[in-house]
Amino acid sequence: MPSDSVEDLLKNDFDGLAEGLEKDRFAEQVLFKLTAKSRMRQGIVFFAGGLGAAFAASQFSGVVDAFSLQLAETSLNASPAFGELSHIAATLLLAGALAATVLVLRHEA
C-alpha cells in the first residue's frame, strides 16, 4: 500500500461526509438556539413596554388634570387655547415616554 494511501482514504472519506453535511439545516438550528435568549429578552421588553403604555394611557386624564393645575398658575391661563394646552402637554409627555421605549426596543432588536 503506498505511503499516502491512508491520508488519501481519510481525506476522501472526510470530504465526502462534510460535503453532505453542508446541505442540511444544522446551521439554522444552531442560530435559532443562539438567538433564543435575545428573543426571550425582546419579548419581555415588549411586554413590559406594552404594559407601561397601557398604564400610562389609563392615567392620561390624571396627567391632563395635573398639567391644568400647573398651567393655571402661569400667565397661560389667559390664553383662549388654555383648555387644550394641558392635553397637548400630557400627549407630548406620553409621546416622549413612548419614543424612549421604541428606542430601547430598536436597540434590543
Distance CA 35, CA 43 (A): 12
Minimum CB separation of residue 32 from another protein in Å reads 11
Choice from 6, 40, 51, 88 touching another protein (CB under 8 A):
6
10 Å Cβ neighbour count for 90? Answer: 21
Q: Any residues with CB less than 8 A from the CB of 64 and at least 6 apart, and which? A: 86, 87, 90
Q: If binding is defined by CB under 8 A, does position 5 make contact with another protein?
A: yes
Among positions 26-55, residues that touch another protein (CB under 8 A) are 26-27, 29-31, 33-35, 38
Q: If binding is defined by CB under 8 A, does position 106 make contact with another protein?
A: no
> Distance between the two ends of the chain, CA-based, in angstroms?
59
Distance CA 95, CA 101 (A): 10
Q: Closest CB to another protein among 22 and 73?
A: 22
By the criterion CB under 8 A, which residues form the site for another protein? 1, 3, 5-7, 9-22, 26-27, 29-31, 33-35, 38
